Structure 1
Amino acid sequence: MGNKVPLFNLWGKNYLSNWFCPYSKYSGNVIEDYKIRSLLNSMDKAYRWDMSSVHITRISNNIHIEIRAARPGIIIGKSGKDLEMLKSRISSVLPIRTELKIQVNPVKKPEIDAKCLAKKIAFDISKGKQYKFLIKKYIAEAMRFGIKGIKIICSGRLGGVEIARKFALAQGSVPRHTIRADIDYSLAVAETNSGLCGIKVWVHKGARKDNTDATT
């Protein structure tokens, strides 16, 4: 079931892009959204942002981008200079008559945000740190915040070994097929000298009370 049903639908999450348009403009809007997300992920200091999610909302020619990050101050910069520079770079890949608005909101608890955790682990592994120590450390930190459970899987040529392996560690309960459960999931890729390593993170925050977005 997990391979056939989108995870956002399965766990009641909101979509990351919210807009409606005629069929003739659909492909163009999808390409623009892809360019925006690719540009944000390829920024020079993107690894320092601890960016959790990017929500894009379109109303006519207006585009509203909401960035959720653990360190919003790095994105905004001193007196908002970095944010204005980011806005100008994003405007360069959009049509001329598009009004762009960027809003940066902080992630309240990045220690239990799956996207932030996956990116942190990927960044540390790419720097050559021990993956077993990292996973145990981040799991211990997350469990202090009262979550129900967490599971982390790393796969690839971990530690520079010749044959790829998979290392998984979990604590608590992580029901991946319970629709009522509030599961936060994310995937990240670490670039090492031996090749690419994949990191998957599941965070079980308890039972959902409604269908609203339960991200922190």
Structure 2
Amino acid sequence: ESRGQGIEQLKLNVQNILSSGDRRLRMTLIEIAKPYGEPNILAEYIALQLESRVAFRRTMKKAIELAKKGNIKGIKIQIAGRLNGAEIARRPKRSI
């Protein structure tokens, strides 16, 4: 299955769910060539990993690896709070 087919299938599924008999839904989907070069997508990835209870150091390390694959020049990550359920809140930082 090529990438274009996946987008078309997604588009059809969303249209079937959201459109009613008398209204038509028009949407444009754009495939992002390097998704982890986009800061919003990378932040969403980090948030999902932390919500899934993945260790924060592993999450930060993996996010930096993904950002390097996205050919970005640099990245700063700061996570704050009671990480991994610790009683004392921390604010670790990483950057490249």
Q: Normalised by the shorter chain, which TM-score bucket?
A: 0.7 to 0.9
Say whether residues 1:153 and 2:78 are aligned partners. yes
Query: Which amino acid in structure 1 is aligned with residue 86 of structure 2?
Result: V
Q: Deviation per CA, 1:40-76, whole angstroms, max 9, x where unpaired? A: xxxxxxxxxxxxxxxxxxxxxxxxxxxxxxxxx4795
Q: Which residue of 1 aligns with 2:3?
A: none
Q: Gaps (5+ residues) in structure 2?
A: 1-5
Q: Which residue of 2 aligns with 1:130?
A: 55
Q: Alignment partner for residue 68 of structure 2, among 115, 118, 143?
A: 143
Q: Gaps (5+ residues) in structure 1?
A: 1-72, 90-97, 172-216
**1:23-172 equivalences in 2 (<5 Å):** 73=6, 76-77=9-10, 80-86=12-18, 88=19, 101-171=26-96
TM-score by length of 1: 0.36
Query: Which amino acid in structure 2 is aligned with residue 114 of structure 1?
Result: P
Query: Which amino acid in structure 1 is aligned with residue 12 of structure 2?
Result: G
TM-score by length of 2: 0.74
> Which 4+ residue blocks in structure 1 deviate beyond 2 angstroms?
73-77, 81-84, 98-101
Distance change (3 Å), C-alpha of 1:162 and 1:112: same
Supply the distance in 2 between the matched residues of 1:75 and 1:160 (Cα, whole angstroms).
42
Supply the distance in 2 between the matched residues of 1:168 and 1:75 (Cα, whole angstroms).
40
TM-superposed deviation, 1:126: 0.9
Q: Size of the alignment, in residue pairs?
A: 89
Coordinate RMSD, CA, aligned? 2.6
Distance change (3 Å), C-alpha of 1:74 and 1:126: farther
CA contact (8 A) 2:15 2:25 kept: no
Structure having the larger proportion of residues in helix: 2
In percent, how many aligned pairs have the same letter?
33
TM-superposed deviation, 1:146: 3.0
TM-superposed deviation, 1:101: 2.5
Structure having the larger proportion of residues in strand: 1
Q: Deviation per CA, 1:79-100, whole angstroms, max 9, x where unpaired? A: 71233314x39xxxxxxxx975
